Amino acid sequence: MATRRYGLSRGETDFQVTEAVGAATATDDMEFTVDLTKNITKEEAMRTLRMFERWILKGNWPPA
């Protein structure tokens, strides 16, 4: 498939990350989906996760 999904549910650790192919679905509490047809590199994925982290840290929680 052209996407890769990484997911975790509340209370799980990095040893329990689920990895799957296909379109995003709500199977875990939190998911990060990468479109592999865009030739995303590992560095770009990690940089994007850090951007998400900064966005969450500076914004209101929970989001309205």
pLDDT per residue over 9-18, tens digit each?
878 888 888 8
Phi-psi domain of 4 (left: phi exceeds 0; alpha: psi -120 through 50; beta: other): beta
Using DSSP, state whether 47 is helix, strand or coil: helix
pTM of the complete model beyond 0.95: no
- Cβ atoms 59, 50 nearer than 8 A: no
Do 28 and 4 touch, CB atoms closer than 8 A? no
Q: What is the dihedral of CA 53, 42, 24, 9, to 10 degrees?
A: -50
- Compute mean pLDDT per 10 residues along the chain, 64 residues long, and list them: 77 83 73 84 90 86 71
